[in-house]
């Protein structure tokens, strides 16, 4: 059992699958996430895979200063990522709302809404900084045990994903 746990920790550290979510970003950080998977930086060496569905992902990468419209979507997607999970806030916007501070269209910063594990500051951050942030999140993930039993919110998220309800914007 101890050996299995060790193997599980090692595997979690070496296979972080990320889901990228834009919460009103200017697209600068989104381009840098894609750049970190490109031949020059090649994050796949660490086992990083960009997944299309939040259900498959371990690490949620969020860019943007969290606009009012994005809050519900962020919470839904956070619940759709299954435990153990980690959140990486990419860029200065989700950390501090950056130059958009005091805007009436913003509900940021990000850690008011969901727990954030790693902040990668920069406007935009360099791809190697993003890779380092993901690697650190994977290390945090490896130590984290399974999340507590899934709550009501997550069941609502299941229904939304199954098409029973409209996703509220």
Partner 1 sequence: MNLATALARLLIFPGLLFAVPAAWFILWVERKAVALMQGRVGPPFMQPFFDFVKLLGKSTPPRPGIGGLLMKAWPLIAVSSAAGAVGLLPVLPSSGGFEGDLILLLALLELPSMCIIAAGFSSRSIFGEIGSAREAVLSVAYNIVFLLAIVSIAASQHTFRLEALAALPATPLRWLGVLALLVCLPAKLHLNPFSLPNAEQEIYSGPMVEYAGPELAMWELSHGLEWVAATGLVATLAAPHIALWWLAALVFIVFSFFIVLGLSALASATARLAIDTTVRFYWQCTLIFAVLAVSSALLMRLRS
Contacts with partner 1, residue ranges (CB under 8 A): 7-8, 10-12, 14-15, 17, 39, 42, 44-45, 47, 49-53, 55-56, 58, 82-84, 146-147, 150, 154-155, 157-158, 161-164
In this structure, what are the phi and psi dihedrals at residue 118, rounded to the nearest 5 degrees?
-130, 130
In the complex, the smallest distance separating the C-beta of residue 67 from partner 1, rounded to whole angstroms, is: 22
- Based on CB atoms, which residue is closest to partner 1, 27 or 53? 53
- Based on CB atoms, which residue is closest to partner 1, 99 or 158? 158
Partner residues linked to 67 by β-bridges: 106
Before 12, cis peptide (omega within 30)?
no
- Radius of gyration of the chain from Cα atoms? 16
- Based on CB atoms, which residue is closest to partner 1, 83 or 122? 83
- Based on CB atoms, which residue is closest to partner 1, 110 or 157? 157
Smallest Cα–Cα separation from 61: which of 120, 143, 106? 120
In the complex, the smallest distance separating the C-beta of residue 102 from partner 1, rounded to whole angstroms, is: 35
- Based on CB atoms, which residue is closest to partner 1, 96 or 136? 136
In the complex, the smallest distance separating the C-beta of residue 118 from partner 1, rounded to whole angstroms, is: 18
In the complex, the smallest distance separating the C-beta of residue 79 from partner 1, rounded to whole angstroms, is: 9
21 vs 161: CA distance, rounded Å: 16
Q: Residues 6 or more apart from 14 whose CB is under 8 A from it?
A: 46, 47, 138
Partner residues linked to 22 by β-bridges: 63
Positive or negative, the CA dihedral 25, 52, 33, 88 is positive
In the complex, the smallest distance separating the C-beta of residue 64 from partner 1, rounded to whole angstroms, is: 18
């Amino acid at each position: 059992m101890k050996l299995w746990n060790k193997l599980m920790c090692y595997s979690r550290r070496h296979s972080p699958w990320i889901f990228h979510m834009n919460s009103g970003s200017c697209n600068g950080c989104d381009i840098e996430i894609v750049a970190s998977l490109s031949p020059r930086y090649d994050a796949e060496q660490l086992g990083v895979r960009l997944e299309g569905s939040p259900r498959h992902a371990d690490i949620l990468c969020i860019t943007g200063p969290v606009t009012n419209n994005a809050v519900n979507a962020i919470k839904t997607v956070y619940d759709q990522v299954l435990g153990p999970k980690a959140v990486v806030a990419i860029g200065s916007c989700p950390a501090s709302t950056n130059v958009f501070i005091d805007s009436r269209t913003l509900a940021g910063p990000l850690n008011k809404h969901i727990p954030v594990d790693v902040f990668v500051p920069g406007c935009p951050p360099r791809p190697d900084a993003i890779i380092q942030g993901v690697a650190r999140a994977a290390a945090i993930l490896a130590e984290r045990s399974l999340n507590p039993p899934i709550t009501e919110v997550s069941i609502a998220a299941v229904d939304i994903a199954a098409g029973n309800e409209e996703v509220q914007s």
